[in-house]
Amino acid sequence: MGRRPRAVRLAIPAAFVAILTFVALWRVGAPVVPASGKRAEPEPLAALTQIAEVLADNSVGRRASLEQVVIQNIASPRALWIGADEERVFVVLDPDVKNASHVPLRAGVRVTLIGLVRAAPSEDEAIRQWALDPATAKVVRERGTYLHVTEIRAAAD
């Protein structure tokens, strides 16, 4: 009995793989497309708009857009507190923060802040990064979150 030609030796395994591929794709099926014709993708979460929302533990990683907030006091050249005594949020300004309207950052000024909620760092790291005093760094750590601001706007009157 003679040897089979090389094409035949390769065709049999190739046919077997093709049949298995066809069966696998047939079992999986086509993706379901909604009637609108678009694939259903999860909607991005809306930006947080309330100070209390920023303070929540589950707010880390969320965008925030806080309008008409009052700067309570300045903790360092890059850090400040906003809100009222019972509801204060620690804010850190990005080194490249956009302040197109050149809003003065001082206590009592109303501003709109846009940024991202982040988990508070350790006390030592906060002191080193933001030039905070130890007491402020401890309070920030205990609160658990802070707002990293990328844009400051003048509050709309």
pLDDT along the chain (157 residues), means of 10: 69 88 80 64 79 85 91 91 86 87 86 93 93 93 92 82
pLDDT at residue 33, as a whole number: 66
pLDDT at residue 79, as a whole number: 93
pLDDT at residue 10, as a whole number: 81
Output the pTM of the full model.
0.70
Going from N- to C-terminal start, the domains of the chain cover 51-154
CATH superfamily of 51-154: Nucleic acid-binding proteins (2.40.50.140)
62-96 burial: b if 16+ Cβ within 10 Å, else e: bebebeebebbeebbebbbbbbeeeebbbbbbeee
Q: Are 94 and 150 in contact (CB under 8 A)?
A: yes
